[in-house]
Amino acid sequence: MTIRSLRRRDPGYPRLLSQIPDPPATLWLRGEADPGILDRAALAIVGARACSGYGRAVARSLGRDTAAAGAVVVSGLARGIDGEAHRGALETGTTVAVLGCGVDRDYPAVHARLAREIVDKGGLVVSEYEPGVEPAPWRFPARNRIIAGLSLATVVVEARERSGALITADFALEDGREVLVVPGEITSALSRGTNALLRLGATPVTGAGDVLETLGLTAPEPETVVLDDPDASAILVAVDEGRRTLDELGRATRLAPGPLGAALTLLELAGAVSVEDGAVHRTA
C-alpha cells in the first residue's frame, strides 16, 4: 500500500482545498496516482446511506457520465449513494474517496474492495488523519468539509432531514461552490433534505448535462446504445412513463414474461437500465 502525505506548504497541495477556511494541515494519500488529479475539475456526489433503488441508479449514472466527461468524482466511500457514485465513476474514469479515518483503514468494511479498485484505477483515497486512526462518527463532518473543499460543485442525490450530505452541502455553500440537487418525490422522507435545499435555491439536476455545464465540461459523444430490438425500445418507453416493476412493464408492452426478461437483460448489458429489488430504472 503506497501512502504519501502532502503538507499545506507543499507545491502539490490541492489549490481548491487550500482556499477553504480551515484546510487540513496534512493530507494523507493512498494510491500511486499523481496528486495532480486533485486539481482537475472535481465533482462531489453525496447522499443517504440508506437510499432507494432510484437514488442508487441516479448516483451511479451521474458518477459514470461525469467521469466520462473528465470530471473527478469525489465522495465519502460510505454505503448507499457514495458507493454507487464511486462505482459509476470507476466504469469510465477517475474517482477520489475521502475518509474520516486513516487511509489504511477500510471503512466501511464492505467497501474494502471498492477502495482497492479506486486506487488501482488511478484514483486516490484521501484523509486528513494519519494512518491507523480509527473511524469515529464525530470525525465525519470534518471529512465532509474536505469533500466539499476538493470539489467545484456538490451534487446531493438523496438526503433525509438531518443527513450528513446536507453538512457537505453547507460546507460547499460556505466555500462559495455550486450545490446541485437531484429532485425527489415530495412524499418521501429520503427527499426531505434534498427538496429543502431546492426550496432554498439550489440548482436542480435534470441530467448529467446540468452538472457538466456547471463544471464547464462537455459530455463526450454518447455511446450509442444499439437498440434495433423493438421489444427493448418499447420497454424503454414504458420505463420513461414511470413503470417500474417487471409485471407492470409486461402489461404496458404486452410482452410475455419470457421475452420481457430477455429484452431487459440486453438493456442491462447495454447499460441502459438497472434492475434493483424488482424495479427497473433508466441509467442512460
Cβ atoms of 230 and 260 closer than 8 Å: no
Q: Which of 4, 116, 244, 282 binds other proteins (CB under 8 A)?
A: 244
By CB under 8 A, tell whether 161 contacts other proteins: no
Q: Which range in 3-11, 120-128, 164-172, 186-194 contacts other proteins by CB under 8 A?
A: 186-194
Contact 123, 33 (CB under 8 A): yes
> Residue 124: which of 66, 39, 250, 57 has the closest Cα?
39
User: Burial, 122: exposed, middle or buried (Cβ in 10 Å; 0-12, 13-18, 19+)?
Assistant: middle
Out of 39, 268, 282, 284, the only residue in the binding site for other proteins (CB under 8 A) is: 268
> What gap in Å lies between CA 190 and CA 139, rounded to an integer?
23
Please, which residue, 213 or 276, has the CB nearer to other proteins? 276
Binding-site member from 1, 112, 200, 256 for other proteins (CB under 8 A) = 256
- Among 23, 116, 122, 188, indicate the residue that binds other proteins (CB under 8 A): 188
Check residue 139 for interaction with other proteins (CB under 8 A): no
Instruction: Map grid coordinates 481548491 to a residue.
Output: 16
Instruction: For the CB of residue 38, give the shortest distance to other proteins in the complex, in Å.
Output: 27
Q: Is the link from the previous residue into 108 a cis peptide, with omega within 30 of 0?
A: yes
Shortest Å, Cβ 269 to other proteins: 6
Contact 181, 202 (CB under 8 A): yes
Residues found near other proteins in the complex (CB under 8 A): 49-50, 56, 79-80, 87, 110, 188-190, 244-248, 250-251, 256-266, 268-269, 275-279
